[in-house]
Amino acid sequence: MTTQVDYYELLGCARDADAGTIKSAYRRLAINLHPDKHGGCKEHEAKFKAVNEAYDCLKDPQKRAAYDRFGHAAFANGGGGHRGGGGADFGAFSDIFEDIFGEFMGGASARGRPQARRGADLRYDMEISLEEAFHGKSADITIDVSGACDTCEGSGATPGTEAQTCRTCGGMGKVRAQQGFFVVERACPSCAGAGETIADPCRDCRGEGRVDTTRTLSVNIPAGVDEGTRIRLSGEGEAGARGAPAGDLYIFIHVARHPLFEREGTTLYARAPISFTTAALGGVIEIPNPDGETYQVKIPTGIQSGREIRHRGAGMPVLQGRGRGDLVVRIEVETPTRLSARQKELLEAFRETETGEECPESTGFFAKVKKAVGG
């Protein structure tokens, strides 16, 4: 009967060695024993295969646990240490099941190290004026956020020490337990899923690798932003635990209401009340614009309430583009409510001269009314 060499002895590691130590030992031996370095020597090739077999077992926490308990017998004749009911090799079945469904069930990286816990994204709401939205602006904002601990540089360990691979899960961040026919996988109770444990936590962050801090950031608001525009500052969110990547900061823009203008995209709308004499005789009115200019708008003779006059290229700038939208002036004819005696006299004289052709729409309307009621 052939005697098999103990896997730990083969790799030159103690039985309580962590996953990192075992991996380093394997790499060193694999490089030294590779057949290509020894001209295809059969002896070195056999040793190379034995080292790979040992590492393949010990790198997997489940297989390692079985080997520690049963030795080589754990994998003899179908795997005595992993047998379930009916003699099925449950460990092999679990691996096949994971290969097929692992990605769907979030287990595609079950055999690798756990994903670093990225910091949370943060939101900041900023209100600006329409003029600031037109020109763009630079602003400093102050936020309360969890930042990387300066004392331990985000590692969570006291300076001069470092985190160690968790011995319970072998750095996987999760452990498996057999319940009947199924294997239940859960976060490692020793490292809470981190894959590492800290024997001497940093006093300032208590092993978290991050502390609460106040940070001032400079934000550039581009010209043309609108209500709800979102600006992303990559890596300016909450710091990740134990050196993991930070989240992002999102600036949500809110444009304050303007006393004169309403906005729809790049189009500006302005309400312009005019006197009935200007509406009748025509004229020119001036409209101030967010760009700092004053635009003269020509009022044609006989304009009616509700008429819109468009001034092209006088609206809001296109966000991250070229050109501008339009300025639309909505006309509202205002009827006078306080008249002097002289003004009333002049209006009475005007009414006496009316023929009905001055306001054809109203004349036509009343003609239709009379016809509708039988003349």
Confirm whether residue 359 is marked as ligand binding. no
Between CA 238 and CA 260 the distance in angstroms is 40
Confirm whether residue 191 is marked as ligand binding. yes
Q: Write out the two tokens for 278.
A: 């200007």
Quote helix, strand, coil % in the chain, to nearest 5.
30, 25, 40
Confirm whether residue 41 is marked as ligand binding. no
Q: In terms of Cα–Cα distance, which of 301, 296, 304 is closest to 333?
A: 304
Q: In terms of Cα–Cα distance, which of 206, 254, 245, 191 is closest to 227?
A: 254
Q: Write out the two tokens for 35.
A: 């057949």
Complete DSSP assignment for 322-372? S-B--EEEEEEEEPPS---HHHHHHHHHHHHT--SSSSHHHHHHHHHHHHH
Between CA 210 and CA 153 the distance in angstroms is 9
Confirm whether residue 149 is marked as ligand binding. yes
Q: Write out the two tokens for 253.
A: 């823009």
Residue type, 299: I
Confirm whether residue 205 is marked as ligand binding. yes
Confirm whether residue 169 is marked as ligand binding. yes
The Cβ of residue 179 has, within 10 Å, a number of other Cβ atoms equal to 8
Residue 192 sits at the vertex; the CA angle it makes with 189 and 152, to the nearest 5 degrees, is 135
- Residue found by looking up tokens 């646990």 in the block: 65
Confirm whether residue 57 is marked as ligand binding. no
Contact 332, 275 (CB under 8 A): no
Q: Write out the two tokens for 108.
A: 């595609």
Range 113-148 burial, b when 16+ CB lie within 10 A, else e: ebeebbbeebebebebebebbbbebeeeeeeebbbb
Complete DSSP assignment for 193-234? TSSEE-SSB-TTTTTSSEEEEEEEEEEEE-TT--TT-EEEET
Q: In terms of Cα–Cα distance, which of 311, 305, 301 is closest to 277?
A: 301
Residues tagged in the binding site annotation for Zn(2+) = 149, 152, 166, 169, 188, 191, 202, 205
Residues tagged in the binding site annotation = 149, 152, 166, 169, 188, 191, 202, 205
